[in-house]
Amino acid sequence: MDATFLRNFAIIAHIDHGKSTLADRLLELTGSLTAREMQAQVLDSMDLERERGITIKAHAVRMMCTAHDGQTYQLNLIDTPGHVDFSYEVSRSLASCEGALLVVDASQGVEAQTLANSYLAINHGLEIIPVINKIDLPSADIPRTKEMIEGAVGLDASDAVLISAKTGQGVPDVLEAIVKRIPPPKGDPEKRLQALIFDSWFDPYRGVIVLTRVFQGTLRKGQKIRLMWNGKVLDVETLGVQSPKPIEVDELKAGEVGFLIANIKNVADTKIGDTITEDANPAIEPLPGFEEIKPMVFAGLYTVDAHEHTQLREALEKLRLNDSSFFFEPESSVALGFGFRCGFLGLLHMEIIQERLEREFGLELITTAPGVRYKIYKTNGEMVEVDNPSRWLPQSEIARIEEPVILATILTHEEYVGGILALVEEKRGRQKTFEYVSSSRVMLHYELPLNEIVLDFYDRLKSVSRGYASLDYHLADYWESPMVKLDILVAGEPVDALSIIVHRDFAYERGKALVSKMRQLIPRQMFEVAIQASIGAKIIARETVHAIRKNVLAKCYGGDITRKVDIPQEAFLAVLKVGEDSS
Amino acid sequence: MPLGLYLSVPFCRTKCTYCNFASDVFSKAVFQRYIDRVCQDIECCVATAEQMGGRLERAADSIYLGGGTPTVLEIEQLERLFVTISQNFEVSSTAEITVECAPGTLTDAVIETLRRCGVNRVSLGVQSFVDQEAASVGRLHNRTAVLNDITRLRAAGVTNINVDLIAGLPHQTAESWGSSLQQTIASGAPHVSVYMLEVDEDSRLGRELIAGGTRYHAHFVPDEDLTADMYLMACEQLEAAGVRQYEISNFARDGYESRHNLKYWTRQPYLGFGVDAHSMLVNAVGAVRFSTPDALEEYMAGKGLNQAAVDRQDALEETFFLGLRLSRGVDLDQVATDFGSGEVSSLAPVVDDLVKTGLLERRQEIIRLTSRGRLLSNEVFQRFLAVDRVGTGVLARPNRTPSV
């Protein structure tokens, strides 16, 4: 098809603002799926996605639509993951589009995440069409929503499309707006091939499936291609598009979006953002914007039942087949036995992996307190990156430490600003901007150490704002900070799994809280047990579990000499929960 | 060796909140069926002993009627139990015959019946001489009733009286406990049992304490440390008054030690009848222990006995964890004679360690619990159990912190 009649677009929306419902309506309206074929919210296929109302993996769906001008257009909807942890993936999806629908709930207004993705889209030069959804709700406030779109995103909202994805009202106008307002893709099918990988996953029958947007040249079945960052050379076995059922095609020309199968075994080979070119006639340079995805949040995963260690390894390997952004390596702990140190893109990513391990693989897990990766500059001039407290260096070898810092965008109602400011200050935040985006909504930009976010920030933010604050963040900087390793000792022995890295100024407080909670959890023993928090050799907090005074069976009822033996309770699980609670 | 006979009567007027025994409140119709069943079991004792593989002695020198509250039975029912016993066993004329009684329920008719049946020892479930404390756990008597019962029992010729006390009752303080102890001593009872409140899932108060609630006055229960202190107070004050501690929970003036209970701790044979009744009979290879179901319905439905053979290792373990309950302690020379010197030398490190940690004291070859050791006796006993028998390796290192 002539590229003039192509439109590639994404939908930007906050969780629950109606992205999936709108996508379903568009599919229905363009006849891509009949109502009978529709399973509600086709795009969210994983159980977890449906339950959480978020999209974890991106998809690309082709729809054909006849516009008012009588022409038939090919619309490619490129779905994007809806969460902050996947912002790089979002950026690659957006890079594959020329336009985006910004869907805003008329009763809720713009949220931080929508904002962040809108800025990303604006930076990529996308044409953004504001779509105000849920206008059928009694609480819908269209003028205020427009005011927020203009104030916060900086877009002209006067010609926003007003719809109810639920009832279908206004949805045809969305199609018309896509055709009229989003520019067709540029690119020349005759030029050297440059196609962007914006998603990939492992299919047990077909191997790795790659979603790609062709920018220049033409991708053909049977072609020998090269992945420019990865270096691998492959034969294109199958090309196709999702409509949303997969349909094979012989070629994908500049401007088009589709999937590719090339006998790839490992999803890690198809890095998102990599450029596909023709091996015989390669492009001079790859498409811009490629980044190696790096995990940002780290934690140890252990099975409650030590015998399930092998199952955990197998489960992690299976998950990794489909998620190259997550990393793991064996680790062992004196306290917890054998487990894995895992790296995640963020907290949600960690939660998802954990939940899938528990739900799909039936494993019961213990997770150590999440932490981040620090840059340690040693006195000998070397720099090492450390994310595991057990690999922390002795203080004497450390010249300085840098910790990752994020730029957080927080959107909230003005009445909660006081509580939120107190929270971000407590979390060592530095204010960058403070502005009213509408008469009652405030947008804050703060730099915050990631280490403080992975502690209890989300929950605290939710509680101080009664849920009326949304947060988005991305890695922004490194700060030099006096971080120290805080150890917990029970009866003089360090409990490795409870060690944490903490800012020096907070060490005393955190140490005190930890040992005091642990005192309540550790059952009394025959002898006095000291629970201490230390930094290096220096004890900064101490509590004592006094020796048990009595353990005696007074009476032998009717000659019952049954040996009632009290097995000391395994305190460990509970103790680690403390680690989580206060972390 | 003459037998001790135990008869269980699991009936009460009310169930006390701390009670973790099978006793409960039932209708009189149940009493009759129960007595029928117990008497039937007594008559079948030969077959039972044979089935269990234990040697049955016909001679008996102690009878213990425990509960529950045996005196809630009708006079005829009480008599029938004793008659059935006397028809099936040769009860010696000097036998110790004990009945547990709830203070305030001893009518003249009951006392007379007991005397007629040969009862010469009465155990009174006093628990506390402070009325508020007794009432808070559901006891129906007060201090005056206790003193009155003691006077009347003595008048009827029953001088061997035991007073049961519980340390750790709701509202109890060191002071009020001291008062209970002094009144116990002043009453002249020659035998005293002191128990510490047991907190477990089997009693209402225990469950409430575990759940951290406030029903049954649970929030007025003194903490474990105070209860331990009360126990030590009892040991001191009773000892000073000439009521000597002869077992972890039992104190007696000279010559008033309970013959029946001593059988449990010295591994002499005894035979129990009724619900949750335990027995031990000797046989050619050692001994056998067996017990009836601990729920009334199961017992009445004729559910079978639990049986466990006592092998050499069991016997050795029992020798320690029963023998050490007694103040006289365990004679290692005797253990060496009974089980071989190898067993004793292999336990030497355990004994040394317990002596070093102050839980045991050793005089020549006699080992005994110290006063701290009595309070921590379960910890001591565990050390004498073979590790593989306990089902967990945790016991192999009870002195360490949990596996963190």
* pTM for the model: 0.64
Distance CA A242, CA A247 (A): 6
Q: What is the predicted pLDDT for the residue at A555? A: 63
Class level of CATH domain B3-263: alpha beta
Name residues whose C-beta falls within 8 Å of residue A88's C-beta, 6 or more positions apart in sequence: A272, A273, A291, A293, A345
Among A340, A367, A394, give the residue marking a domain's end: A367
Domain CATH code at residue A137: 3.40.50.300
What value does the mean pLDDT take over residues B153-161?
Answer: 96
CB B192 within 8 A of CB B160: no
What is the Cα A572 distance to its own chain's centre?
Answer: 30
Among A422, A457, A480, give the residue marking a domain's end: A480
Q: What is the predicted pLDDT for the residue at A570? A: 42
Query: Which residues lie across from B99 on neighbouring strands?
Result: B65, B122
- Better-scored residue on pLDDT, A325 or A269: A269
* DSSP state letters, A236-281: --EEEEESSSEEEESEEETT-EEEEE-----GGGS-TT-EEEESSS
Closest Cα in chain B to A335: B404
Of the candidates A490, A550, A554, the beta carbon closest to that of B401 is on: A490
Check CB contact of A247 with chain B, cutoff 8 Å.
Answer: no
Q: Does any domain span residue A343?
A: yes
Nearest Cα to Cα of residue A175 among A167, A166, A165: A165
Distance CA A262, CA A250 (A): 14
Residues A329 and A390 in one domain: no
Which of 522-561 (A) contact B at CB < 8 A? 522-523, 525-527, 529, 546, 548-561
Q: Does any domain span residue A292?
A: no
Of the candidates A523, A550, A568, the beta carbon closest to that of B375 is on: A550
Domain CATH code at residue A340: 3.30.70.870
DSSP helix/strand/coil, A433? strand
Mean pLDDT over each residue of chain A, to the nearest integer? 86
Closest Cα in chain A to B65: A558
Any idea which of A350-359, A369-378, B344-353 has the lowest mean pLDDT?
Answer: A350-359
Give the model confidence (pLDDT) of A494-549 as tens digits. 888 888 999 999 999 989 988 887 787 777 777 788 889 999 889 999 988 888 88
Q: What is the predicted pLDDT for the residue at A561? A: 66
Domain CATH code at residue A546: 3.30.70.2570
What is the Cα B350 distance to its own chain's centre?
Answer: 27
Question: How close does chain A come to B275, measured CA to CA in Å?
Answer: 10
Of the candidates B6, B227, B395, the beta carbon closest to that of A550 is on: B227
Give the model confidence (pLDDT) of B104-147 as tens digits. 989 999 999 999 999 999 999 999 999 999 999 999 899 999 99
Question: How close does chain B come to A498, measured CA to CA in Å?
Answer: 10
What value does the mean pLDDT take over residues B57-62?
Answer: 96
Residues A468 and A540 in one domain: no
Q: What is the predicted pLDDT for the residue at A58? A: 44
Give the model confidence (pLDDT) of A154-200 as tens digits. 899 999 999 999 999 999 999 999 999 999 999 999 999 999 999 88
What percentage of chain B reaches a pLDDT higher than 90?
Answer: 82
| Cβ contact A560–B278 (<8 Å) | yes
Q: Does any domain span residue A224?
A: yes
Q: What is the predicted pLDDT for the residue at B233? A: 97
Q: Does any domain span residue A283?
A: no
Question: How close does chain B come to A335, measured CA to CA in Å?
Answer: 5
Residues A440 and A470 in one domain: yes
What value does the mean pLDDT take over residues B333-361?
Answer: 94
What is the signed CA dihedral for A327, A329, A332, A336, rounded to 10 degrees? Answer: 30
Residues A23 and A167 in one domain: yes
Domain CATH code at residue A249: 2.40.30.10
Q: What is the predicted pLDDT for the residue at A307? A: 86
Q: Which residues of A touch B223 (CB under 8 A)?
A: none
Residues A70 and A209 in one domain: no
Residues A311 and A268 in one domain: no
Confidence label for B348 from pLDDT (cuts 50, 70 and 90)? very high
Give the model confidence (pLDDT) of A396-415 as tens digits. 999 999 999 999 999 998 99
Residues A97 and A11 in one domain: yes
Tokens of A379: 């006195």
Residues A262 and A330 in one domain: no
Name residues whose C-beta falls within 8 Å of residue A284's C-beta, 6 or more positions apart in sequence: A192
Name residues whose C-beta falls within 8 Å of residue B48's C-beta, 6 or more positions apart in sequence: B41, B305
Confidence label for A141 from pLDDT (cuts 50, 70 and 90)? very high
| Cβ contact B404–A495 (<8 Å) | yes
Distance CA A269, CA A229 (A): 9
Q: What is the predicted pLDDT for the residue at A517? A: 78
Question: How close does chain B come to A526, measured CA to CA in Å?
Answer: 6
Q: Is the pLDDT of residue A266 over 80?
A: yes
User: What letter represents residue A388's amino acid?
Assistant: N
Q: Does any domain span residue A164?
A: yes
Q: What is the predicted pLDDT for the residue at A229? A: 93
- Per domain, the residue ranges of chain B are 3-263, 316-392
Nearest Cα to Cα of residue B145 among B181, B103, B108, B107: B103
Q: Which residues of B touch A522 (CB under 8 A)?
A: 401-402, 404
Residues A303 and A356 in one domain: yes
Among A435, A461, A480, give the residue marking a domain's end: A480
Q: Where are the alpha helices (DSSP H) in A343-447?
A: 347-361, 417-426
Q: Is the pLDDT of residue A134 over 70?
A: yes
Q: What is the predicted pLDDT for the residue at B399? A: 22
- Residue ranges making up the domain that contains A17: 3-181
Q: Is the pLDDT of residue B44 over 50?
A: yes
Report how many domains make up chain A. Answer: 5
Q: Does any domain span residue A177?
A: yes
What value does the mean pLDDT take over residues B234-257?
Answer: 97
Q: Where are the alpha helices (DSSP H) in B9-107?
A: 28-43, 45-52, 75-88
Residues A21 and A169 in one domain: yes
Nearest Cα to Cα of residue B134 among B174, B186, B169: B169
Q: Does any domain span residue A188?
A: no
Residues A137 and A20 in one domain: yes
Looking at the domain B316-392, which fold is it? Arc Repressor Mutant, subunit A (1.10.10)
Q: Does any domain span residue A327?
A: yes
Residues A569 and A446 in one domain: no
Confidence label for B52 from pLDDT (cuts 50, 70 and 90)? very high
Q: Is the pLDDT of residue A580 over 70?
A: no
| Cβ contact A565–B390 (<8 Å) | yes
Question: How close does chain A come to B225, measured CA to CA in Å?
Answer: 6
